[in-house]
């Protein structure tokens, strides 16, 4: 009987110690813990209770305010729709004129090359092709203090002398800050990754 009482006493002591340790745990309410021991030597020197932390607003963690990111996504949408819309009757300079004002200087040579692609222009003229692109989805893929990359999903409808076709493509559009606005720094197939 004595050993049973000793084991029960040790068990009660362990439960009391566990209660003291978990007194501040969020899993147990404060009132559920055991009473503090009577002996001052057995009490912890300082009771530490967790301080409630205020939730950090997600927007404060972003390198740009949400309204500025919305403006970047809007510009990526406009640029991508213009990029994938063209007509066999339209001069390459007209297509280029829509894109140049919203493109960074570093992208200008690539745009000029795309506008003057002889094989594409010949194919479009031969089939009398007209393409109209509509952006159907946007998502931010990468975000740094110096750029944002937006993935734009585009549905392109091409009408030609042989009928109408529809295709879907995904583009990764990287934008860089320009004053209080944005400029398109790069466009490439979304499957190519960020560059």
DSSP string, 147-182: EEEEEEEEEEEEEETTEEEEEEEEEEEEEEEETTEE
pLDDT computed for residue 11 by the predictor: 38
Mean pLDDT of the region 148-171: 96
E strand spans, the chain = 86-87, 130-144, 147-160, 163-178, 181-189
Least confident of 11-15, 49-53, 56-60, 121-125: 11-15
Q: Pick from 81, 74, 97: which is nearest to 157 by CA?
A: 81
Is domain 58-192 annotated with CATH 3.40.50.720?
no
Position 28 pLDDT exceeds 80: no
Residue 183 has pLDDT above 70, yes or no: yes
Distance CA 168, CA 47 (A): 62
Q: Dump pLDDT digits (tens) for 143-154.
A: 999 999 999 999
pLDDT at position 2: 43
User: Is the confidence at residue 84, as pLDDT, over 80?
Assistant: yes
Q: How many CA atoms within 13 Å lie on the side-chain side of 24?
A: 9
Average pLDDT value for residue range 21-41: 41
State the pLDDT at residue 46.
54
> How do the domains of the chain map onto residue ranges?
2-42, 58-192
Overall average pLDDT of the 97-107 stretch = 96
| Residue-averaged pLDDT of the chain | 79
The answer to whether residue 189 scores a pLDDT higher than 60 is yes
- Helical packing angle, 92-99 and 66-83, nearest 10°: 180
- Cα separation, 101 vs 108, whole angstroms: 10
């Amino acid at each position: 009987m004595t050993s049973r009482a000793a084991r029960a006493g040790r068990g009660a002591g362990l439960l009391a110690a566990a209660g003291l340790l978990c007194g501040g745990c969020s899993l147990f309410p404060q009132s559920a813990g055991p009473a503090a021991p009577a002996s001052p030597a057995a009490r912890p020197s300082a009771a530490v209770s967790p301080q409630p932390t205020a939730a950090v607003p997600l927007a404060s963690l972003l390198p740009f305010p949400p309204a500025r990111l919305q403006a970047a996504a809007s510009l990526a949408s406009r640029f991508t729709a213009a990029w994938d819309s063209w007509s066999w009757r339209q001069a390459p300079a007209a297509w280029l004129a829509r894109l140049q004002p919203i493109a960074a200087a570093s992208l200008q040579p690539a745009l000029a090359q795309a506008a003057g692609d002889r094989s594409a222009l010949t194919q479009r003229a031969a089939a009398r092709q007209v393409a109209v692109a509509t952006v159907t989805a946007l998502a931010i893929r990468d975000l740094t203090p110096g750029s944002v990359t937006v993935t734009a999903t585009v549905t392109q409808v091409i009408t030609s002398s042989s009928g109408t076709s529809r295709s879907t493509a995904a583009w990764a559009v990287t934008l860089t800050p320009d004053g209080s606005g944005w400029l398109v720094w790069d466009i490439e197939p979304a499957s190519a990754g960020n560059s």
